[in-house]
Amino acid sequence: MQNIAEFRIIGRIGKVEVKEKVTYLSVASNYNRKDGDDWKTDVHWNSVTLFDKLAKRLTASKGDLVHITGRVRQNQYEAGDSTHYGVDLIADGIAILAKKDGPADDEKPN
């Protein structure tokens, strides 16, 4: 049996940073929580990495609602006298659920 660490995010794209063979997306997800008798919404920003093939197929832009799935990878690096730890969210798939200014590509009439 294979052991896996994976993620699923449904949220809106805030920023797209395109590099030569990688694209970085900043995706906002909302979480509701109860604060006393009131419900509040907390926004969490997730940094997602898309590598070459998936990045080249990306048609989503800022404000689009997307569904992203992928794998989680831990990393660490040394800086000076300390070790820094982090987590990378690497996309395996992305789908546009709704465009910022209209329906998703696959919802448009022919």
Q: For the chain, what are the domain ranges?
A: 6-103
In this predicted structure, the answer to whether residue 22 has a pLDDT above a threshold of 70 is: yes
Q: What is the pLDDT of residues 65-103, one digit of tens each?
A: 999 999 999 999 999 999 999 999 999 999 999 998 865
pLDDT of residue 98: 94
User: Binning pLDDT at 50, 70 and 90, where does residue 4 land?
Assistant: confident
Question: Coil, strand, or helix at residue 37?
Answer: coil
Q: What is the pLDDT of residues 52-70, one digit of tens each?
A: 899 989 889 999 999 999 9
User: Binning pLDDT at 50, 70 and 90, where does residue 15 land?
Assistant: very high
- Sequence-distant (6+) residues with CB within 8 A of 3 are none
pLDDT of residue 42: 94
**Cα–Cα distance, 70 to 6 (Å, whole number):** 6
Cβ proximity of 109 and 46 under 8 Å: no
**What Rg do the C-alpha atoms of the chain give, in angstroms?**
17
Q: Which CATH class is domain 6-103?
A: mainly beta
Q: Which residues share a beta bridge with 105?
A: none
Query: In angstroms, how far apart are the furthest CA atoms of the chain?
Result: 60
**Cα–Cα distance, 70 to 46 (Å, whole number):** 13
User: Binning pLDDT at 50, 70 and 90, where does residue 104 land?
Assistant: low
- Give which of 13, 25, 19 is closest to 49, Cα–Cα: 25
pTM, two decimal places: 0.80
